[in-house]
Chain A
Amino acid sequence: MQGTVSAHDGGHDAHAHNPNLQHHFYSMEQQLEASTLGMWLFLVTEVMFFGGMFLAYLIYRVIYPEAWILGSNHLNVAMGALNTGVLICSSLTMALAVRAAQTSNRGAQIRYLLLTMAFGSVFLIVKYFEYAEKFEHHLVPGRHFDMTLPQAGQQQLFFSIYFMMTGIHAIHMIVGLGLMLVILTMAWRGRFSASYYTPIEMSGLYWHFVDIVWIFLFPLLYLLGAHYSAH
Chain B
Amino acid sequence: MSQHAPVTPVSTYVNIFVALLVLTGLTYVVATFDFGLLNTPIALAVAILKAALVIVYFMGVRYNTPLTKVVVISGFCWLLIMFGLTLNDYLTRAWIGVAGR
Contacts and interface: CB of A to CB of B under 8 A. Distances in A.
A99 B51 CA distance: 20
B54 A215 contact: yes
B54 A211 contact: yes
Nearest to A27: B3
Contacts of A227: 31-34, 39
B36 to A, nearest CB: 10
A98 B44 CA distance: 29
A8 to B, nearest CB: 22
A41 B71 contact: yes
Contacts, number: 145
Contacts of B55: 208, 212
Interface string B73-97: 0111011001100110011000000
Interface in A176-231: 195-196, 201, 204-205, 208-209, 211-212, 215-216, 218-220, 223-224, 226-228, 230
A228 B36 CA distance: 11
B75 A220 contact: no
Contacts of B50: 212, 215
Interface residues of B, number: 51
A88 interface: yes
Contacts of B68: 33, 36-37, 40
Interface residues of A, number: 55
Contact of B59 (A29, A37, A41, A208): A208
A44 to B, nearest CB: 3
Contacts of A223: 27-28, 31, 43
Contacts of A228: 34
A158 B68 CA distance: 36
Given A216-B51, A219-B43, A219-B47, A230 B72 contact: no
A37 B74 CA distance: 13
Interface in A1-42: 28-29, 32-33, 36-37, 40-41
A220 B67 CA distance: 32
Interface string B1-36: 111100110100110110011001001100111100
A37 B57 CA distance: 17
10 contacts: A29-B4, A32-B1, A32-B3, A58-B83, A95-B13, A99-B7, A201-B60, A226-B32, A227-B39, A228-B34
Interface of A: 28-29, 32-33, 36-37, 40-41, 43-44, 47-48, 51-52, 54-55, 58-59, 62-63, 77, 81, 84-85, 88-89, 91-92, 94-96, 98-99, 102-103, 195-196, 201, 204-205, 208-209, 211-212, 215-216, 218-220, 223-224, 226-228, 230
